[in-house]
Amino acid sequence: MTDTTDEAANKPAINSADAPTPTPRRSVTLTMPELKRPSLPSYARSSRLRSGLLAVAFLLTAVLGGIGGGWLESRREANSFSTGALGSQKKVITQQSQLISQIAKTVGPSVVSVNVTLTTETAVPTGFESLFGIPGGSQTVAAAGTGIIISQDGIIITNRHVVPEGADSVSVTLSDGTELKDVTVIGRTKATDPLDIAFLKVTDTKGRKLKAAAIGDSSRVQVGDDVVAIGNALGKFQNTVTSGILSGFGRSVQASSDSGPTSASANDTESLDNLFQTDAAINEGNSGGPLVNLNGQVIGINTAIAGNAQNIGFSIPINDVKGLISQVFKNGKVVRPYLGVRYIPLTADIAKQSNLSVTSGAYIIPTREGEDPSVLAGSPADKAGLQEKDVITKVAGVAIDETHSLTSLLGTHQPGESIPLTIARDGKTQKISVTLGETPA
């Protein structure tokens, strides 16, 4: 495997194992359902301990909205006393099932298993080695996630946590079972980036053009739309398909790894924002797989699940990633524009509590004691004159709302580009110009 990122050098080594495991995740700071990363099942090669790779726990940072029931249940309940209506329902359900089956056949060849091996340190309490014959030291574990082919020449998009920095063994298994071991990690977003994204490059050993998935427009989806999730559930190298509805927009999650003795980074925390919420079951191993609309187009990339709630999953809207895809196609590397603010999506309730003049946008939160400044010193935002409690309402004339986050709108621009921002400050609207930087390491 070739890794083109600078960070890959001094990380834990990863070696090959027989069956992949789900990838680990991290945690959030509002009391909400615990989240798990839909990663992969893992088995240690060592005969001494067979442990799962990394356990992933997440907490929601934003209040979850109501979740719509699945289309199947709602249709079963409707008109339940009318035999004529029931006959019609059966027809609708059959048609829906056939459509989902067709979507699976169309999109399935573009969905791959991403297989990673990792060497981790096993922590065994002093004295237990001789008492129970349990050896300490390192062990090799295998993990498997999902990826999406986005070009015929083998560019694949997945989650950053599926291919952790330091992995020295990454392979890809196509839907027909072909394993490709010549894999290049084009790049990953930084660990502090709210987009959990990585890109790989493979070449089909049989010389075939690979089937690229159709990319949709995530700004056009609505709550209640039917969606389909496809992925390498449980790391079994086989695509699984689940269906449900899109049940919410703009969810924010802080993911923290709770990986137990095998974790090399149990204290790391990642903030992920502007996620879709869905009740289509996202299983372990589905991380990095597609969330698809009924036209067979990718509208999201599955990235997290709520551990203590049934069928609550989270996906990155595909529009948030299109800027990165363009960068990879054009320059062959992952480059993200950088503003340098900490913000939350503004809601009517937050606007009322904070006595703000607008009810939507990106609210630059006041800095609390012990925290880094919300406008980072020397950042493009600082140089442009942005301040705490400003609300950024538009980026280059496009309004920030439920389907257009600050992150996704900035992602359509390039580092070094000067763009106008519309802000609300002290009850007045004004425009400022900012020159975007490149996300620091």
Q: Which residues are catalytic?
A: 161, 196, 287
Residue 284 phi/psi, 5-degree rounding, is -60, 135
In terms of C-beta density within 10 A (0-12 exposed, 13-18 middle, 19 or more buried), how is residue 12 classed? middle
Q: Pick the closest to residue 414 from 343, 345, 339 (CA basis).
A: 339
> Tokens 């089909």 correspond to what residue?
204
Which residue type is seen at 308? N
Interstrand relation of 398-399 and 418-425 (parallel, antiparallel or unpaired) = unpaired
Nearest to 119 by CA among 144, 88, 142, 97: 142
- Specify the amino acid at residue 220: R
Task: Give Cβ neighbours of residue 102 (< 8 Å, ≥ 6 apart).
Answer: 296
Q: What is the DSSP string of 53-95?
A: S--EEEEESSPPPP-PPPHHHHHHHTTTT-HHHHHHHHHHHHH
- Contacts of residue 101, defined as CB under 8 A and 6 or more positions apart, other chains included, come to none
